[in-house]
Structure 1
């Protein structure tokens, strides 16, 4: 049952991606925790397949499983790690009672026409307090502080604000009803996503890990790219992409693959900070890599009503572009430092690795096939979990026995604890945001600052994502930012489309872009604009906005001053954390650039003819390559600063993507390539030799 961490260690939860203290469980508490994790996993499998019950009851039991588990492993503070956790056990029991109370007494509330009695108010208030406290322990202070901020706005100080931000206030009983019994509170839609899609895919990842798929992925990556220049770093990118398709967590990827790839990169000749930055940047892509993409993708599917399969299918190419952009940086750095490929004796033969581990592709195939033919993601995930067990018996060294299956069930429950707490507490924030219409108010704030400028709006979303990401886990950051900014961003994308197709439309309807700053007028403007957007385009624009926010929510993993994936990698590499973060930010530049293409060139999301999508992808790849060349300063040979600037300008021309600028950029790239290959102009090596001779003389 080796599922527990050492006492007093500052740990980073794989799902939550926040630095928190965890308690070592030994003896009877460890057995109880282990058994509860198994029961939780079995319960969620059954309630998502054959055991049907009202969603709010299942969500309340979801709370009754994971909040007690969280109280068992997350102490009040780091100082209380060594103290007997009697209070925490008491709070765990209270949490169970709070979840069960809703299950047994909800019908009585409906029989009273939703009139809450004192006991209802007591348990609703207690549940809210327990939720805020365990969120503080498991996910840091920011989420509960946000919840308290919004709650206090709705209950009290909103009435003292003027203008658009004024809110007259609601009673405490009304708020508690919305938080406890209504479908948009703690046990609402976000809890539904947590108790179904998210949990089953976390469990799916746990089964893959226990089956030995992680070892197979590492070996496969070494066999594919080990012989190329900078092979270990490229292997880190490759393996992190594959692992990310399973775990959907940047920090989990960094820990699992980085412990192998970072030492290999250092032995090859990469500096510790660059090796750590490569792993952090590559692991950040785990959250955007299909088929799992982290918990946020399931929230996205629920909110947009776009099928999860479609989101996964459309996200695949952009995710590949991101990983390729990281490889461009790695290759340039390896060339600049004259690094050699991995030693031949350290590289396993590709076909030997494939022969040993090919059965691990079967569960992924089952998952994708079932979703493709119309089955729900939950059913597909359950079948894929069963397929993992069957596939393991087709390998020689990783056959899962009964105890392996039980351990996988326990690991799935344990890995879900932090994610469940984050999502349940996010329900508090979302419930209040909906209650007081903060999404509309925030959209109006953006419109006041950005006006009708789509690029400025994207910039504001990016800044907001960085600020939120400093204290929030990725999933919570996406949920809050999407709630507040997605509707306005979608409307601006539609407006841009209509203005491109029919530039005179707004004026012909007697409208003006200045109307955007007025809430009432903006509503009328966007309502008319929506009638001019075809349904297929509207769906892609909605998805483009949410994907942009989803990608930007990952940026905090690699953006100083708070970048957990980079700091985690720096700990493995024994490098300076801040310097590692700076390098990771540069290597992950595609994370900031590619989402803009979702909005400005939706052909990348397969909107339009296939030839246009292929051409767009090719141009973006070339632009990403020019970006890496400009920042790293190596292409064919070391580049003169003027040539680095020229490649940077070429990248900008390519990113713009209208036909004329695009082909001008291609022409400049071809010219610069010929100049470097066939002439000695701007040769940095020759200039360095002349400088050395001059100094010697």
Structure 2
């Protein structure tokens, strides 16, 4: 279906990255279309990307066109590119697919043309409005089902049933119920349902940065983001694992998908980790955790920073600044875990003769950092995320011409536009369905009911409420993407956390971090499963190992609630909270891995765990006690190490 990509770096050992991304992003297998039909779909996908590039530079034509075209054409492409069932043909579209795709276009045109009239007669739904609304609801849910599976589609159906049959639901969930006209009209004809704020966020921010990530890849930057850390850290103890941490953090911040990041960087890093001595399940787990952390890493945060900014009304730049320390804590812990594991196993790095020269790699590719720098500069100076992404993409194309083998001509630009659009469908397919869910929440007042239910179940106890949010995020994460999970819970759960005294941004960051748990926590952990597939390891063993290496996902959300780690307090308190968090995470790594300056016995390991809890606990006295215990433990290790060395020297002298 697509034009052949000639400039982007080839995947290591010929692995089919696109197929792996589909499999481990929770997406169904995509059709491969050729001939006139394939060309037609590719042209539509390319023009779709060009339309949003144009809007990013010259401004949104109108809200209804911006949102309507994004949802409509996304559904159109999903219905053509993703088969209805396993029995459907994979190399051609069926008559049913063509009819449904055509209906998606009709519904989109109707919405864009008639939105003004529908807005003027809000509350009065005509028969054509009802018919188009019902078709739109069915098509959005069907597109989601085809691309991402049944979970989110079933949730959306349950929400529609809830809107229609409110009086039949028990207790606090009960409401007066709404007619089919009211439900379909609200979800279709207003900017609070299918074409609501979620569609705007994905069209203006998420899609543009996914497109930016594709252009970075085509320009050769993806290769540099792997090769440079490889040349720099390959010789270090357990070097390939440290390469995975840096490369996955860089790539994951931009591409916004942990599973896609695993199969992109993991095809390179996992075999190298296995080669230097990491067990297969451990190599897969390290890559999965590193890739998941990319969505926490500023400045892009997998587009999470932009989505959060829209929900909270807090500036993008403030979110980025306060997210930096938690992201560093996450990767510091992972780095320590890798280092301690390498020491425990007696691992070494790769031979210098096999590694490229870091200076040469930096000289060859330093300019690939410029598009990212341009994006950051523009965002800091008040440009819209879309405009920043536009100039970042423009920079990628310009910089690709520095080297002959990466130059992007019209053919390569066309390939990047098409590939970026098609890859975005795994996320875009959920937008209309999320809009249905959010629309029902607004229509029925479910957010307040859910908050009351959460408060009742938790007994008003904040730690219990956070745990319940984590469970909800984990369950949702089994079947939908982290961004989708965050959007749903931001509407439902954030008000409850705020009612318990958590600040707005802290509440949203708690939900966002916990939405990533599903990537690594069994039984369904797509990022870990992707790592296991590349490493040829046991999936469940890889998943449970990933949980051990990804402990900050479970710890740091509590710090958001109980400490001023987000710079939301007096300066002395902020400094103490950050220092305590860093020291606490250091001790958590020692406790989990059973190693610090040397291997720890079980007593020392327990003391390290106690010190970690004290340092992370939001109290000055416990911080002091935890710090003293940490110093005593480290001094004891230094003394015993010195004794061991002295004993070894005496033995040598006697010999």
**5+ residue gaps in structure 1?**
495-540, 687-697
Deviation at 1:273, TM superposition (A): 0.4
Residue in 1 aligned with 2:629?
A: 668
Alignment partner, residue 29 of structure 1 = 37
Cα distance, 1:593 vs structure 2: 0.9
Q: Tell me how far 1:572 sits from its aligned partner.
A: 0.3
Asked if residue 138 in structure 1 is aligned to residue 138 in structure 2, the reply is no
Contact 1:208 1:388 in 2 (8 A): yes
The question of 1:584 aligning with 2:546 is answered yes
What are the Cα deviations for residues 82-108 of structure 1, in whole angstroms up to 9, with x where unaligned? 575222122111111111111222334
Q: Deviations over 1:496-545 (max 9, x none)?
A: xxxxxxxxxxxxxxxxxxxxxxxxxxxxxxxxxxxxxxxxxxxxx21111
Deviates more, 1:324-333 or 1:573-582: 324-333
Q: Is the aligned partner of 1:376 residue 2:384?
A: yes
Question: Does 2:508 align with 1:556?
Answer: no
CA spacing shift, 1:240–1:83, aligned 2, 3 Å:
closer
1:622 and 2:583 matched: yes
Measure how far apart 1:615 and its partner are: 4.1
1:363 has 2:371 as partner: yes
Q: 2:311 aligns with which of 286, 293, 303?
A: 303
**Change over 3 Å in CA distance of 1:345–1:610 after alignment to 2:** farther
> Among 410, 427, 431, which residue is 1:419 paired with?
427
- Deviations 1:78-132 (CA, angstroms, capped at 9, x unpaired): 2223575222122111111111111222334356565332222111111111111
Which of 178, 185, 191 aligns to 2:193? It is 185
For residues 328-347 of structure 1, the aligned pairs below 5 Å read 328-347=336-355
Larger displacement relative to structure 2 (546-555 or 28-37): 28-37
Shift of 1:644: 1.3
Cα distance between partner residues in 2 of 1:458 and 1:670: 32
Report if aligned partners of 2:53, 2:208 keep a CA contact under 8 Å in 1: yes
Q: Is the 8 A contact 2:560 2:566 kept in 1?
A: yes
Partner residue, 2:650: none
Q: Distance in 1 between matches of 2:123 and 2:492?
A: 29
Structure 1 residue 220: deviation in Å? Answer: 1.4
Asked if the contact 1:245/1:291 (under 8 Å) is kept, the reply is yes
What is the aligned counterpart of 1:453 among 453, 461, 476? Answer: 461
Cα distance, 1:153–1:425 mapped onto 2, change above 3 Å: same
Q: Secondary structure at the match of 1:164?
A: helix
329-338 vs 393-402, greater mean Cα deviation: 393-402
Aligned equivalents of 2:326 and 2:4: distance in 1?
A: 37
Report the Cα distance in structure 2 between the residues aligned to 1:276 and 1:402, rounded to whole angstroms: 38
Match in the other structure for 1:567: 529
Mapping 1:145-544, distance limit 5 Å: 145-156=154-165, 158-395=166-403, 397-494=405-502, 541-544=503-506
Say if 1:332 and 1:634, in contact at 8 Å, map to a contact too: yes
> What SS does structure 2 have at the residue aligned with 1:23?
coil
Question: What residue in structure 2 maps to residue 116 of structure 1?
Answer: 125
Q: CA deviation at 1:15?
A: 12
Relative to structure 1, is the Cα distance of residues 543 and 112 closer, same or farther in structure 2, using a 3 angstrom cutoff? closer
* CA–CA distance in structure 1, aligned partners of residues 543 and 482 of structure 2: 17
Unaligned ranges ≥5, structure 2: 6-13, 648-655
Match of 2:616 among 645, 652, 655: 655
The TM-score, its normalising length taken from structure 2, stands at: 0.92
Over 3 Å counting, the alpha-carbon distance change for 1:12 and 1:102 in structure 2 is farther
Task: Encode CA deviations 1:466-500: one digit per residue, 9 max, x unaligned.
Answer: 11111222111111111111011022125xxxxxx
Query: What TM-score comes out, normalization by structure 1 length?
Result: 0.87
Residue in structure 1 matched with residue 137 of structure 2 by the alignment: 128
Q: 1:82 to 1:226 in 2, by over 3 A?
A: closer
CA contact (8 A) 1:21 1:77 kept: no
Distance 2:59 2:398 in 1: 24
Shift in CA distance, 137/16, structure 1 to aligned 2, threshold 3 Å: farther
CA contact (8 A) 2:244 2:269 kept: yes
C-alpha distance in structure 2 between counterparts of 1:638 and 1:51, whole Å: 59
Q: In terms of mean alpha carbon deviation, does 14-23 or 624-633 score higher?
A: 14-23
Alpha carbons 1:296, 1:478 under 8 Å: kept: no
Taking a change above 3 Å as real, the CA distance of residues 15 and 97 of structure 1, as seen in their structure-2 partners, is: farther
Q: Return the offset for 1:449.
A: 2.1
Whole-Å separation in 1 of the counterparts to 2:491 and 2:576? 34
Q: Secondary structure at the match of 2:301?
A: coil
Q: Residues 112 and 93 from structure 1, CA distance in 2 versus in 1: closer, same or farther, beyond 3 angstroms? A: same
Q: Could you say which residue in structure 2 is the equivalent of 1:61?
A: 69
User: Partners of 2:414 and 2:23 in 1: how far apart?
Assistant: 21
Alpha-carbon distance in structure 1 between the residues aligned to 2:209 and 2:167: 43
Helix, strand or coil at the partner of 2:408: coil
User: Are 1:14 and 1:249, in contact at CA under 8 Å, matched by a contact in 2?
Assistant: no
* Equivalent residue, structure 2, for 1:532: none
Alignment-derived partner of residue 107 in structure 1: 116
Shift of 1:424: 2.0
CA contact (8 A) 1:13 1:20 kept: no
